[in-house]
Amino acid sequence: MQISPSGILRGIVSQTLGLVVDDGFIAVGAVAALVLTGLLASASIELVPHDALGVVLFGIVTIVLLGSLARAGRAARTHAVEASAAERPS
Segment 38-57, tens digit of pLDDT: 998 888 778 888 888 999 99
pLDDT, tens digit (0-9, with 9 covering 90-100), for 21-37:
666 778 788 889 999 99
Domain boundaries, the chain: 26-87
**pTM to 2 decimals?**
0.63
Give CB contacts under 8 A, 24+ apart, made by 8-16.
none
Q: How far apart are the first and last CA of the chain?
A: 32
> Contact, 37 vs 56, CB < 8 A?
yes
